[in-house]
């Protein structure tokens, strides 16, 4: 999908919320938090044209699974061009992630990435999405979200014990990168299971 087509989707659909896909510098910075050496189940909210999706697939093990949930039908069509058995694309809203994972028999996941514009989402629905997100992550799992402002820090702190935020200026527009983690499982061999 060209930048112009992406821009057209932005004009027609306010939920797209960004004029261009994320920059590769930002994709790499967000994905630094993922341990690609192991088999992961990764969920993506709002993959858009798949800039994160492709990077994750390129770096993931053969045994990993990626479940991408996208609301915009044009993006879903475009994502369908990615031929990879590890990828499952759903034309749906992030708030239905629980039902989607049920279909796979998946109770918990390692990482959830999100580019959906939480600032456009009403408080009740935002809390609902963040609550289910936190409950679906394994102990020590991470929710990695990118937003144009710092508005998500407090809502995240209601649902996650560990929340941090950094700025990434190598993107149009610059972004706030959030990392929200669930508590790591207690160590059984002296080494806590993190990342």
Ligand X SMILES: C[S@@+](CC[C@H](N)C(=O)[O-])C[C@H]1O[C@@H](n2cnc3c(N)ncnc32)[C@H](O)[C@@H]1O
Minimum distance from residue 191 beta carbon to ligand X (Å): 33
> Exposed, middle or buried: residue 105 (CB in 10 Å: 0-12, 13-18, 19+)?
exposed
> Quick check: 115 binds ligand X (CB under 6 A)?
yes
Tokens, residue 15: 């939920």
Q: With contact defined as beta carbons under 8 Å apart, do 86 and 65 qualify?
A: yes
User: One symbol per residue from 51 to 70: x for binding ligand X (CB under 6 A), - otherwise; what is it?
Assistant: xx----------------xx
Spatial CA neighbour of 140 closest among 179, 94, 82: 179
Which residue has tokens 């930048």? 3
Residues 116 to 145: which contact ligand X by CB under 6 A?
Answer: 116-117
CB of 149 vs ligand X, minimal distance in Å: 13
Helix (H) or strand (E) run with residue 168 in it: strand 162-168
Provide, rounded to whole angstroms, the least separation between the CB of residue 186 and ligand X: 34
| Of 31, 41, 87, 94, the one binding ligand X by CB under 6 A | 94
Residues found near ligand X in the complex (CB under 6 A): 15-18, 21-22, 45-48, 51-52, 69-72, 75, 93-94, 115-117
């Amino acid at each position: 999908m060209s930048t112009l087509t992406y821009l057209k989707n932005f004009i027609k659909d306010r939920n797209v919320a960004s004029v261009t896909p994320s920059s590769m510098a930002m994709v790499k910075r967000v994905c630094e938090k993922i341990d690609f050496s192991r088999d992961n189940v990764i969920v993506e909210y709002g993959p858009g044209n798949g800039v994160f999706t492709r990077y994750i697939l390129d770096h993931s093990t053969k045994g990993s699974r990626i479940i991408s949930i996208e609301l915009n039908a044009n993006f879903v069509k475009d994502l369908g061009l990615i031929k990879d058995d590890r990828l499952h694309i759903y034309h749906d809203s992030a708030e239905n992630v629980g039902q989607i994972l049920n279909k796979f028999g998946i109770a918990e996941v390692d990482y959830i990435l999100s580019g959906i514009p939480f600032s456009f989402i009403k408080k009740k629905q935002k809390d609902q999405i963040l609550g289910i997100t936190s409950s679906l992550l394994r102990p020590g799992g991470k929710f990695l979200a990118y937003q144009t402002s710092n508005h998500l820090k407090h809502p995240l702190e209601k649902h996650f014990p560990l929340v941090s935020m950094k700025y990434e200026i190598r993107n149009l527009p610059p972004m706030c990168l959030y990392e929200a983690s669930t508590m790591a499982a207690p160590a059984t061999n002296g080494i806590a299971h993190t990342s």
